[in-house]
Amino acid sequence: MLSISIKKVIEMSVLLEVKKLKKYYPVLGGVLKRKVAEVKAVDEVSLSMFKGECFGLVGESGCGKTTLGKTIIRLLEPTAGSIYFDVPKDVKEEINKLENSADRDSSRLKELRKKYDLAIYKGIMLKIMRRKMQIVYQDPTTSLDPRMLVKDIISEPLVVQGLAKGQGARSRVVEILSKVGLTEKHLYRYPHEFSGGQRQRIAVARALVTNPEFVVLDEPTSSVDVSMRAQLLNLFQDLQKDLNLTYLFVSHDLSVVECISHRVAVMYLGKIVELAQTEELYKNPLHPYAQALFASIPIPDPTVKKRRIVLTGEVPSPVNPPSGCRLHTRCPKVMEICAKEEPELKDIGNGHLVACHLFQ
Amino acid sequence: MDVRTRLRDFKASIGPAWSELKFTLRRIRKSPLSIVGIVIVMVYVIIAISAPLLAPAVDPRDPYAIFHDGYGPIPRPPGSPVLDSYVIGRGWMAHYFGTAEGQLDIYYGCIWGTRTAFRIGVLVVVISLLIGLLTGCLSGFYGGIIDEILMRFTDVILAFPGLILAMALVIALPLSWSIDIGFLILVILILFAPILIGRFLKIGNIRAFMLSLLGLATFAILYGWVLGNPLIYPWTLNLTNLDKVLIALALVGWPSYARVIRGEILRVRQEDYIEASKAVGCSDFRIITRHVLPNSIYPIVIMASLDIGSIVLTAAALSFLGIGAPVGFADWGQMISFARNWIWAGIENPWKYWYTFTIPGLFIFIFVLGWNLLGDAFRDILDPTLRRK
Amino acid sequence: MAENILEIDDLRLNFYTYEGVVEALDGVNLRLKKGETLGVVGETGCGKSVTGLSVLVIVSPPGRIEGGKILFNPKGKPVELLALNEAFLRKVRGRYISMIFQDPRSALNPVYTAGEQIIEVLLHHKKEELAERALNRIDDEIKSGKTGFLTNYYKRIFQHMIKNPKAPSLQLLSKIPIIRRYNRILKQEAKKEAVNILRIMRMPDPQRVVDMYPHELSGGMAQRVVIAMALACSPGILIADEPTTNLDVTVQLQILQLIKELKEKFASSVIYITHDMGVVAEMCDRVAVMYAGSVIEIGEVLEIFKKPLHPYTQGLLESIPRPGFPFKSIEGTVPSLISPPKGCRFHNRCPYAMDICTKVKPEMVEAEKGHFVQCFLYR
């Protein structure tokens, strides 16, 4: 019921396309503070998201999933790569053609990219784009200004974007509040007067007030109690249907992602290692890392005994990732080629992509 | 919006502020020392405001000049009657706190000295605060090379010995500073510096200009009201030694504010809600003024109230040394300097002239104590980590 | 028949805050059998962490234990923990009952290396053993003829230490500059033991880790050091307060397996505090469900998962997200514990609430063999 059949995949339009996105952090060292190394937080990630889907992004801490989410909406500056948001099909085809041809530096390509490539937007274009892409943070206690009233917190995006003022802003705020399940009398309170679940709702309201099309949900249920979690997840699903939103659901909680996402991607050390529809991925993970990851979720059923794949060692540092396939130092199925060549993310059928030499 | 909704909104918007206030008052009540501090400061404020009532001026043209009841060198004890007929004519019957050397009335000096003390404390702290805030904000928010430059500059100022600078300025600056040169330079600086900084940082010319107007307005208000005598027009400035001392103290006092606010801004900058504001499209200026500053201002408030006490103490020390208020000016430090020769009055009955230094000393002591307690009270009340315990 | 190593009876605890008195624990009853793993589950604010802290009697003000009994019974002679004085308790903590915490990075002191922190625990509790080993080493040295000029003195010191580690004469000696070098020998022995313990914790390259500072360690390694400190003296009870919540899933798996292994080796009983039902299903033999300050259901893990009796437990199990099913949550929110509701504290959210639930607090009854519930539905 949550998975999208193949036919629908082709019919649905691509809302967001990320091409070879990189986010490197320089490591400065020495007396003159020169760049001695780079933290490759996101290393050439390409993916597309369909309109109206919930795209799950999982991985352990340090894999770069939060960085990817924030880079896509330009909270962080991408080091390289392109982001195409809601670009008409023909323009996209033209860009693809130009990029694949020898005509890399053509002025036409530059012109198109300046107009459509989110990664290089500046100034007023960037500001307008922010209306359509928003983010909900993990911890609602720190993501809401403790000195501002709820009404100011939620109306701030409208004021800053110049969309509404005064009475217009107020009625829009009330409208959004009712959508997230809060009422008008909550307007004149401070965030610390609310419970964790309610604060998260306020954060969601703030994200939705400018009518965005794409929302990054950065571990939105991790700081919330188990009983609140279900309420929030219901809210996310209802809002998605109601407002036709597209979600990027970043989380390390694999069971939650399984229940809410249509497709899921697994990240390791800045790269996507596997991507598939949720049911397919959880039933049949192919990449050894994905297999280890799914095998390590504790199942709330004492009668089930699982076969455990324990990955030896620790996650290597993203400053000096291993050569070739990044998992090769810990992989139980490592081969000779894994240390030399990096595997490509290939589609092995059914929209299931894997980056592993076992399938190349 | 119709009136009813407006009224309802207004009442609702007061609501949370009111409950916060109630919470604050409750915390004050639970800490008796804070109440003591508040009471002390209130008492001093009342004394300062009602100085003309409590100690009617003998010379209406210069109320700060302590009147002489004759010129005899030996201090007279509290309660001694006034001898000079002119003074009696002005309404004075007795010396309530006695007289100091030269027959200067101690009571008069202490009461009007309260006004001087407030002028010293408030003026210096406000100027330091403004300079320090501006520097610290720019430094903390923009970081990088601006931070480096401003912080090195701050370090240089921090290395200046304040007292020595005060002495140097007293000697160097002329008695009546010609307005046309000095004042104009100051005005130009205040007017145009923000514009230059604004252009450099792309804040926007309009905003920078508003900043400079604000700075000018503040400067003018402080100038006319606190610094100068209201009877004299604000642009003819007669700089007394005391004013030079104030300028010196203000010029060396701001680095600590700059550092503290910079530290706070660095901390607040990393919070999620700042990033969330950026995600919404807020400009840097808006983020600083509406998000960062309100959340980082509390340590500054505490520092400022503690500073007022210590500045007054420093100024008193300088007056005692002779640098500071002109002779006969109502200032607590001055009064103690008059008692210099009378602290020890011989083997038998050494504390005969105790009133010459004890009473002004008590005034200073309790003033500084009051502000210190107030500062502690602010810290206990406003510290967000301690608030909800 | 395994006997109880820990019995908590009617434990009450209050927090005195500006906003009022928070009745955090309202009569907690728990039994921990020897050699079992007891899970304590509940949401934020139900009091599970504070129960763990109470067993070690390290609840800090504004919290105060108001009543109840905690009986600790390692070897047949029960001890009432709440009646002991501080000096006695210090002997118990770390040696007989240990605790590991949620955030390993903040549980370790950042200015001391991992090794030094384990050594601290060993020196505090196991001085006699270390002195014995040091003595053996000195005897070996004497036999092989390699003696320094103080070796005989060291021998006497260590013999004295074995008999009475806290003698004031030893404390005096440890202040005299050259003679106090015996401490160095002691520390060397302790370091060897620390490396040994880290090896048991499956720490890669323990020789190197012993000299590393906490900020150089990853989350999993830091947690292993914390566990090493806790288990260094083979305590009878290990209290684990959400030790894997902050760790990645794969590391969590390693730590859970480690704890299971170590339990066998050290024969400890474990109280595992968590909010994750999956971990409970994996790790625990019995589980106690807490809500708003008291234990509302306790029983074998299989029983509780198959047939939860208390409405809260039922709601909790139903709210675990399952793919394909709609998300179910428990209506309402946890009541404020400053003026808690009368009677059963769950009654305002309970779908089966009866009139008596609002007036009287239910007693714990044994609804089925070994399965206890605190609910009027099972009177």
The 10 Å Cβ neighbour count of residue A36 is 11
CA distance C69 to C79: 10
Q: Which residues of B327-348 are buried (b: 16+ CB within 10 A; e: fewer)?
A: ebbbbbbbbbbbbeebeebeee
The 10 Å Cβ neighbour count of residue B85 is 8
**Chain A environment of B388 (Cβ under 8 Å):** 192
Instruction: For residue B273, give the nearest of A131, A145, A149 by CB distance.
Output: A145
In order of A67, B14, B270, the CA distances from B141 in angstroms are 22, 31, 11
Kindly state the tokens that stand for C101. Answer: 């915490």
Q: What is the pLDDT of residue B250?
A: 85
Q: What is the pLDDT of residue B229?
A: 47
A161–B16 C-beta distance less than 8 A: no
3-state secondary structure of C310: coil
Task: Kindly calculate the radius of gyration of chain C based on its CA atoms and give it in whole angstroms.
Answer: 24
CA distance A187 to A195: 15
Cα of C168 vs its chain's centroid, Å? 32
* Beta-strand relationship, C20-33 and A14-29: unpaired
Give the chains touching B; criterion: ≥3 Cβ pairs < 8 Å. A, C
Q: Which of A126, A134, A129 is nearest to A207 (CA)?
A: A134
Distance from CA of C293 to the nearest CA of B (A): 20
B280–A156 C-beta distance less than 8 A: yes
Q: Classify the C-alpha dihedral A44-A46-A52-A55 as positive or negative.
A: negative
Cis amide leading into C206 (omega within 30):
no
Cα of C297 vs its chain's centroid, Å? 21
Strands (E), chain B: none
The 10 Å Cβ neighbour count of residue B149 is 12
CA distance A354 to A348: 7
Q: Which residues of B31-64 are buried (b: 16+ CB within 10 A; e: fewer)?
A: eeebeebeebbeebeebbeebeebbebbeeeebb
Q: What is the DSSP string of C106-150?
A: HHS-TTS-HHHHHHHHHHHH-HHHHHHHHHHHHHHHHHTT---TT
State the average pLDDT for chain A. Answer: 85
Kindly state the tokens that stand for A350. Answer: 């059914």
Distance from CA of A161 to the nearest CA of B (A): 7
Q: Which of A148, A146, A145, A171 is nearest to A158 (CA)?
A: A171
B280–A143 C-beta distance less than 8 A: no
In order of A6, C27, C57, C376, the CA distances from C9 in angstroms are 60, 7, 14, 21
**Chain C environment of B26 (Cβ under 8 Å):** 18
Hey, is the C-beta of B294 within 8 angstroms of any chain A C-beta?
yes
Q: Which of C276, C371, C255, C349 is nearest to C48 (CA)?
A: C276
CA distance C102 to C44: 14
Q: Residues 6 or more apart from B378 whose CB is under 8 A from it?
A: B298, B301, B302, B305
Distance from CA of B5 to the nearest CA of A (A): 10
**Chain A environment of B286 (Cβ under 8 Å):** 160
B282–A160 C-beta distance less than 8 A: yes
Q: Which of A244, A306, A288 is nearest to A86 (CA)?
A: A244
Residue of C nearest to B26 (CA): C18
CA distance B56 to B51: 7
Percent of chain B residues past pLDDT 70, beyond the cut: 78
The Cβ-side half-sphere exposure at C245, using a 13 Å CA radius, reads: 20
C62–B388 C-beta distance less than 8 A: no
In order of A218, B185, B267, C347, C363, the CA distances from B128 in angstroms are 43, 19, 22, 59, 66
CA distance B34 to B367: 14
Ranges in chain C, pLDDT < 70: 1-2, 147
Interface of chain A against chain B, CB under 8 Å? 73, 75, 127, 130-131, 134-135, 137, 139, 142-149, 156-157, 160-161, 166-167, 185, 187-190, 192-193, 203, 206, 210
CA distance A265 to A263: 7
Tell me the β-bridge partners of A257. Answer: none
Instruction: For residue A143, give the nearest of B273, B286, B290 by CB distance.
Output: B273
Mean pLDDT of B145-169: 85
- Total residue count of chain A as it appears in this document: 360
Q: Complex ipTM, two decimals?
A: 0.81
Kindly state the tokens that stand for A133. Answer: 């892409």
CA distance B332 to B354: 15
CATH for the B43-65+116-171+242-389 domain, from 3.40.630.10, 1.10.240.10, 1.10.3720.10, 3.30.930.10:
1.10.3720.10
Residue of A nearest to B281 (CA): A127
B26–C17 C-beta distance less than 8 A: no
- Residue indicated by tokens 């720190």: A142
Tell me the β-bridge partners of C14. Answer: C23, C64
CA distance B288 to B133: 12
Kindly state the tokens that stand for C103. Answer: 């955030």
CA distance B244 to B318: 12
Chain C contact probe: residue of B31, B381, B383, B389 with most C CBs at under 10 A:
B389
Q: Which of residues 18-37 of B touch A (CB under 8 A)?
A: 20
Q: Which amino acid is at C260?
A: K
Regarding pTM above 0.90, the answer is no
- In chain B, % helix, strand, coil (3-state, to 5) comes to 70, 0, 25
Q: Identify whether the C-beta of residue C281 lies closer than 8 Å to the C-beta of residue A298.
A: yes
CA distance A257 to A65: 13
Chain B contact probe: residue of A183, A188, A217, A218 with most B CBs at under 10 A:
A188
Q: Identify whether the C-beta of residue B110 lies closer than 8 Å to the C-beta of residue B335.
A: yes
Q: Identify whether the C-beta of residue A311 lies closer than 8 Å to the C-beta of residue A292.
A: yes
Q: What is the pLDDT of residue A217?
A: 94
**Chain B environment of C18 (Cβ under 8 Å):** 26-27, 388-389
Distance from CA of C21 to the nearest CA of B (A): 12
CA distance B31 to B382: 13
Instruction: For residue C17, give the nearest of B26, B27, B389 by CB distance.
Output: B389
Q: What is the pLDDT of residue B155?
A: 92
Chain A contact probe: residue of B10, B273, B284 with most A CBs at under 10 A:
B273
Hey, is the C-beta of C60 within 8 angstroms of any chain A C-beta?
no
Distance from CA of A217 to the nearest CA of C (A): 18
Q: What is the pLDDT of residue C1?
A: 47
- Residue indicated by tokens 């040394």: B321
CA angle C40, C42, C45 (to 5 degrees): 120
Rounded-to-10 torsion of CA A300, A195, A170, B10: 170
Q: Which of B207, B241, B219 is nearest to B326 (CA)?
A: B241
Q: Identify whether the C-beta of residue A191 lies closer than 8 Å to the C-beta of residue A153.
A: yes
CA distance B95 to B66: 12
CA distance C228 to C249: 21
Distance from CA of B386 to the nearest CA of C (A): 11
Size of interface A-B (CB pairs under 8 A): 67
CA distance B374 to B372: 5
Chain C contact probe: residue of A141, A233, A301 with most C CBs at under 10 A:
A301
Element spanning B317, H or E: helix B298-321
C18–B26 C-beta distance less than 8 A: yes
B15–A137 C-beta distance less than 8 A: no
C277–A315 C-beta distance less than 8 A: no
C256–A298 C-beta distance less than 8 A: yes
CA distance A231 to C183: 59
- Residue indicated by tokens 């009139």: C355
Segments making up each domain of chain B, as ranges: 43-65+116-171+242-389, 176-238
Distance from CA of A112 to the nearest CA of B (A): 24
CA distance B262 to B139: 6
Hey, is the C-beta of B389 within 8 angstroms of any chain C C-beta?
yes
Residue of C nearest to B30 (CA): C18
CA distance B268 to A138: 17
pLDDT bucket at B201, cuts 50 / 70 / 90: low
**Chain C environment of A302 (Cβ under 8 Å):** 281-282, 301-302, 305
Ranges in chain A, pLDDT < 70: 1-11, 32, 102-105, 306-307, 309-310
Is pLDDT at B233 greater than 50 in this prediction?
Answer: no
B276–A131 C-beta distance less than 8 A: no
Residue of C nearest to A3 (CA): C324
In order of B32, C195, C214, C243, C345, the CA distances from C112 in angstroms are 41, 16, 8, 21, 45
The 10 Å Cβ neighbour count of residue C255 is 22
